[in-house]
């Protein structure tokens, strides 16, 4: 579409008006960013962005990420004006109110066209990197006719200042993700004032050093914006387009200052802005001719979408592509059935990180959408399998990401990959470094992206590396995050079961907390309750061995401590004290069971409930009651061989049994 350039200015002013009026009505929000980037966004959407408002989930659309999520009114305006079904003008009127999809920050689960949830600065760009990875991976498999689109991100000073930006651009530059274009709202303003209060960095030089192409433009000159965008599109490297803008552009007394960043402009300033912009319309009214121009921006994409459909229909890979984009791993359980049967017949004493690698063998072989990776701990996380060759700038068909030492960048990129669709990522690091990527894990949960975190070295059981590396509070603290399943399997079979469950929950992310040290296999054909047909981990917790004498005790343990609990039970039985052992690989799944199952597993008030987990005990009272016994570790670990540490910190049957006996006698 070649729109008369003079028509672009009123289109941009429509964004400005909607943004300042919505923020004013809500009496909260951020007008400065949308007003400052209105011209850039208008040029991008009307001339370059590939989108079809009538098909927001079209697989080959360009991905548009508003990394500077505080400027949410920019994306709400763009979606509304260009003709998406949502948000409506009433939704915009109700910006930031209960029931409106126009939340304070853009939420991917509330509006189609919002590709990801942004607001935590920096993560949008990192997610865009993941989207660009997924696009290249699918392109390598399905070709230009079916997958060939760009990823655009609008980032503010804050997004580029955050540490995660270093990780994200390093990865993108290394992987030569030329389809990624970041438009920087270079307004030299942050909340505290001018950006030069806190930075004198040469942002472009930093990007160049990371292998990026950079170009500058006047962010209020349409022709100059077009020139820069076209240069970026032509360059094979990822691009940073530095758009020199004025924050709050159009508000005559406040523009260019941090006063426009995060507060309503006020009635007087809005009225002055209307004069300056020549915008005579009432709040939330966009005249028909401007609406028509905006709706016309979608026509380009509609035509491209139709042509794409014709190509897809003609493709031999049509069904395969649909399967890939569906991204569901319903077949995960079936993929490991034989593996589990094999383990049952021939038990293996291995670390659960090794058990995870063993499960990943058949999973990655049978599920082509699984893309593995690790933040430079491949050999320790056991994440690489023979089916997953490296994803590199030379070979985008690979399925294994060498993320480098970039835990936060990895986690955010995985979110972007999953949000893109067509791939399901899993990535590894040490569990202790879950804290490095915690906010991205939280965003996995909030955004309902079912990525899988493979987090090994899950307790003092890692031994000699010492307290800096030994998780104490991590497992329990991850359980605090809503919509996140934290798995801590006890042996080879549970590990395989937990993998199947993790892959089957496509809108809930999973963490697999895995041991460094070997653990005996507790399940299998010797087990009286053995059956390969039931995934026992699916209920989150189950009785792995039942009391023989009259039951007085229920031992609840996870991961490496389940075998210890079995030993404790044996010693108690020798004393005539009946003890059940409950393995609880996933507390969240257990909490979701009905009350009768939960009380059957945990027992009533007549039994002493004892939790055993080599980590913080806070929280275990939920299952043991305050009258129960909580065996754990409420201090930092130490550097020594694992066996010595378990002995030192009381994780032995000899240390635990007397505590139980005295409690029973107490
Ligand atoms: C990780 C993170 N830290 C802090 C904030 C709070 N915050 C929101 S916007 C902002 C300033 C951002 O400045 P800039 O990106 O330049 O936005 P502009 O003021 O230009 O709109 C801050 C500190 C946040 N949203 N995320
Ligand atoms: Mg700024």
Residue-wise DSSP of 20-69: HHHHHHHT-S--HHHHHHHHHHHHIIIII----TT-TT-TTSPEEEESSG
**Which protein residue's CA is at the shortest distance from atom 9 of ligand 1?**
70
Q: Is the pLDDT of residue 634 over 80?
A: yes
- 210 token code pair: 């990371």
**Which protein residue's CA is at the shortest distance from atom 18 of ligand 1?**
190
The DSSP letter of residue 391 is P
Angstrom distance (rounded) from CA 128 to CA 580: 49
Pocket test for ligand 1, best of 36, 41, 103, 121 (most atoms within 8 A of CB): 121
Report residue 326's pLDDT band, with 50, 70 and 90 as the boundaries.
confident
pLDDT for res 328: 66
Please state the atom number of ligand 1 nearest to the C-alpha of residue 247.
20
Angstrom distance (rounded) from CA 572 to CA 566: 10
Please state the atom number of ligand 1 nearest to the C-alpha of residue 123.
1
- Beta-carbon contacts of residue 608 (< 8 Å; ≥ 6 apart): 552, 553, 554, 627, 628, 629, 660, 663, 664
Q: Is the pLDDT of residue 445 over 60?
A: yes
**What's the 258 CA to ligand 2 centre distance in angstroms?**
8
Q: Quick: pLDDT tens for 262-274.
A: 999 999 999 999 9
Pocket test for ligand 1, best of 162, 190, 201, 438 (most atoms within 8 A of CB): 190
In a 3-state reduction of DSSP, which class is residue 441?
helix
For the CA of 31, the nearest ligand: 1
Angstrom distance (rounded) from CA 18 to CA 35: 10
What is the arithmetic mean of pLDDT over 292-314? 96
**pTM for the whole thing?**
0.98
CB 602 within 8 A of CB 553: no
- Beta-carbon contacts of residue 327 (< 8 Å; ≥ 6 apart): 369, 418, 421, 422, 423, 424, 506
Burial class (CB in 10 A: 0-12, 13-18, 19+), 608: buried
Please state the atom number of ligand 1 nearest to the C-alpha of residue 159.
15
What is the arithmetic mean of pLDDT over 61-81? 98
Q: Which of 223, 225, 222 is nearest to 243 (CA)?
A: 225
Q: Is the pLDDT of residue 638 over 70?
A: yes
Pocket test for ligand 1, best of 23, 158, 246 (most atoms within 8 A of CB): 158
pLDDT for res 3: 61
H helices of 216-278, in order, are 222-234, 267-277
pLDDT for res 186: 98
The DSSP letter of residue 390 is B
**What's the 159 CA to ligand 1 centre distance in angstroms?**
7
- Please list every protein residue whose CB sits less than 6 Å from any atom of ligand 1: 32-33, 68, 70, 119-121, 156-159, 162, 185, 187, 189-191, 247, 261
Residue the block writes with tokens 């923020």? 23
Strand partners, 630: 611
**Which protein residue's CA is at the shortest distance from atom 22 of ligand 1?**
191
Degrees, nearest 5: CA angle 445-449-455:
70
Please state the atom number of ligand 1 nearest to the C-alpha of residue 187.
20
Tell me the pLDDT of the chain averaged across its residues.
Answer: 97
Q: Quick: pLDDT tens for 377-415.
A: 999 999 999 999 999 999 999 999 999 999 999 999 999
- Beta-carbon contacts of residue 160 (< 8 Å; ≥ 6 apart): 122, 125, 184, 203
Angstrom distance (rounded) from CA 31 to CA 71: 7
What is the arithmetic mean of pLDDT over 492-520? 97
Angstrom distance (rounded) from CA 425 to CA 423: 6
Catalytic annotation, residues: 407
Greatest Cα pair distance in the chain: 90
pLDDT for res 2: 53
Q: Which regions of 271-388 does DSSP assign to beta strands (E)?
A: 350-351, 370-374
Burial class (CB in 10 A: 0-12, 13-18, 19+), 597: middle
CB 437 within 8 A of CB 411: yes
CB 35 within 8 A of CB 259: no
How is 364-388 classified by DSSP, letter by letter? HHH-TTEEEEESS-HHHHT---TT-
**What's the 23 CA to ligand 1 centre distance in angstroms?**
17
- 96 token code pair: 């930031």
Q: Which of 363, 365, 324 is nearest to 137 (CA)?
A: 324
Angstrom distance (rounded) from CA 373 to CA 449: 17
For the CA of 163, the nearest ligand: 1
**What's the 441 CA to ligand 2 centre distance in angstroms?**
26
Angstrom distance (rounded) from CA 545 to CA 555: 10
Q: Is the pLDDT of residue 165 over 60?
A: yes
What is the arithmetic mean of pLDDT over 575-581? 98
CB 79 within 8 A of CB 45: no
- 277 token code pair: 């912009």
For the CA of 192, the nearest ligand: 1
**What's the 28 CA to ligand 2 centre distance in angstroms?**
18
Q: Return residues with CB closer than 5 A to ligand 2 (ion).
A: 156-157, 187, 189
User: For residue 371, what are the CA distances in angstroms to 267, 404, 411, 416, 643?
Assistant: 52, 15, 13, 13, 35
- 311 token code pair: 């190509």
For the CA of 35, the nearest ligand: 1
User: For residue 494, what are the CA distances in angstroms to 491, 520, 540, 558, 568?
Assistant: 5, 12, 11, 11, 20
Q: Is the pLDDT of residue 556 over 60?
A: yes
Q: Compute the half-sphere exposure of residue 154: CA atoms within 13 Å on the CB side of its CA.
A: 31
**What's the 262 CA to ligand 1 centre distance in angstroms?**
9
- Beta-carbon contacts of residue 344 (< 8 Å; ≥ 6 apart): 493, 523, 524, 525, 530, 532
Q: Which regions of 130-254 does DSSP assign to beta strands (E)?
A: 151-155, 180-186, 189-190, 193-194, 213-218, 239-244
**Is the preceding omega at residue 594 within 30 degrees of 0, hence cis?**
no
Lowest-confidence range among 45-49, 254-258, 325-329, 574-578? 325-329
Q: At what angle do helices 222-234 and 32-43 cross, to 10 degrees?
A: 70
How is 83-95 classified by DSSP, letter by letter? T-SSS-HHHHHTT
**What's the 157 CA to ligand 1 centre distance in angstroms?**
8
Helix (H) or strand (E) holding 610: strand 608-612
pLDDT for res 608: 98
pLDDT for res 1: 44
Q: Is the pLDDT of residue 329 over 80?
A: no
Q: Compute the half-sphere exposure of residue 107: CA atoms within 13 Å on the CB side of its CA.
A: 14
Q: What are phi and psi of 351, to 5 degrees?
A: -65, 150
């Amino acid at each position: 579409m070649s729109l008369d350039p003079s028509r672009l200015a009123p289109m941009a002013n429509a964004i400005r008006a909607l943004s300042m009026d919505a923020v004013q009505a809500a009496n909260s929000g951020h007008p400065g960013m949308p007003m400052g980037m209105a011209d850039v966004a208008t040029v991008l959407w009307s001339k370059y962005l590939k989108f079809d408002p009538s098909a927001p989930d079209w697989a080959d659309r360009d991905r548009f990420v508003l990394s500077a999520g505080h400027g949410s009114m920019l994306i709400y305006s763009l979606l509304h004006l260009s003709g998406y079904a949502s948000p409506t003008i009433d939704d915009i009127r109700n910006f930031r109110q209960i029931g409106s999809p126009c939340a304070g920050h853009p939420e991917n689960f509330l509006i189609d066209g919002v590709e990801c949830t942004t607001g935590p600065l920096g993560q949008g760009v990192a997610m865009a990197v993941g989207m660009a990875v997924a696009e290249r991976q699918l392109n390598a498999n399905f070709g230009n006719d079916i997958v060939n689109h760009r990823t655009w991100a609008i980032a503010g000073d804050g997004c580029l200042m955050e540490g995660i930006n270093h990780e994200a651009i390093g990865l993108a530059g290394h992987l030569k993700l030329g389809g990624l274009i970041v438009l920087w709202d270079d307004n030299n303003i942050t909340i505290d004032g001018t950006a030069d209060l806190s930075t004198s960095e040469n942002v472009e030089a930093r990007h160049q050093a990371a292998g990026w192409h950079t170009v500058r433009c006047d962010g209020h000159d349409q022709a100059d914006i077009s020139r820069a965008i076209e240069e970026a599109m032509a360059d094979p490297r990822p691009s940073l387009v530095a758009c020199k803008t004025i924050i709050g552009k159009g508000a005559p007394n406040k523009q260019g200052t941090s006063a426009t960043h995060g507060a309503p402009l006020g009635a007087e300033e809005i009225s002055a802005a209307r004069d300056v912009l020549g915008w005579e319309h009432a709040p939330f009214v966009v005249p028909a001719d401007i609406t028509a121009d905006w709706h016309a921006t979608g026509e380009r994409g509609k035509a491209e979408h139709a042509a794409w459909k014709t190509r897809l229909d003609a493709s031999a890979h049509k069904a395969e592509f649909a399967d890939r984009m569906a991204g569901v791993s319903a077949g995960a359980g079936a993929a490991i059935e034989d593996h589990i049967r094999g383990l049952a017949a021939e038990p293996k004493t291995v670390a659960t990180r090794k058990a995870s690698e063993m499960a990943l063998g058949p999973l990655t072989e049978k599920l082509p959408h699984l893309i593995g990776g690790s933040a430079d701990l491949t050999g320790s996380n056991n994440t690489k399998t023979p089916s997953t060759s490296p994803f590199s700038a030379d070979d985008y068909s690979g399925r294994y990401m060498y993320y480098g030492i970039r835990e936060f960048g990895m986690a955010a990129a995985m979110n972007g990959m999953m949000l893109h669709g067509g791939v399901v990522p899993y990535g590894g690091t040490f569990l202790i470094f879950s804290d490095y990527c915690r906010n991205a894990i939280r965003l996995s949960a909030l955004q309902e992206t079912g990525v899988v975190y493979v987090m090994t070295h899950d307790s003092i059981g890692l031994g000699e590396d010492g307290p800096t590396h030994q998780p104490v509070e991590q497992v329990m603290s991850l359980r605090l995050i809503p919509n996140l399943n934290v798995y801590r399997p006890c042996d080879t079979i549970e590990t395989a079961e937990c993998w199947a469950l993790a892959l089957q929950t496509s809108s809930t992310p999973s963490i697999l907390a895995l041991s460094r040290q070997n653990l005996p296999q507790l399940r299998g054909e010797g087990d009286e309750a053995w059956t390969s047909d039931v995934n026992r981990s699916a209920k989150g917790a189950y009785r792995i061995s039942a009391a023989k004498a009259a039951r007085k005790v229920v031992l609840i343990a996870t991961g490496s401590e389940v075998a210890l609990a079995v030993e404790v039970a044996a010693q108690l039985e020798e004393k005539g004290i009946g003890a059940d052992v409950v393995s609880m690989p996933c507390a969240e799944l257990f909490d979701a069971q009905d009350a009768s199952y939960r009380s059957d597993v945990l027992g009533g008030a007549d039994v002493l409930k004892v939790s055993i987990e080599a980590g913080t005990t806070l929280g275990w009272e939920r299952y043991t009651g305050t009258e129960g016994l909580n065996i754990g570790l409420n201090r930092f670990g130490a550097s020594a061989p694992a066996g010595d540490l378990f002995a030192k910190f009381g994780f032995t049957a000899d240390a635990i049994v007397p505590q139980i006996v005295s409690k029973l006698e107490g």
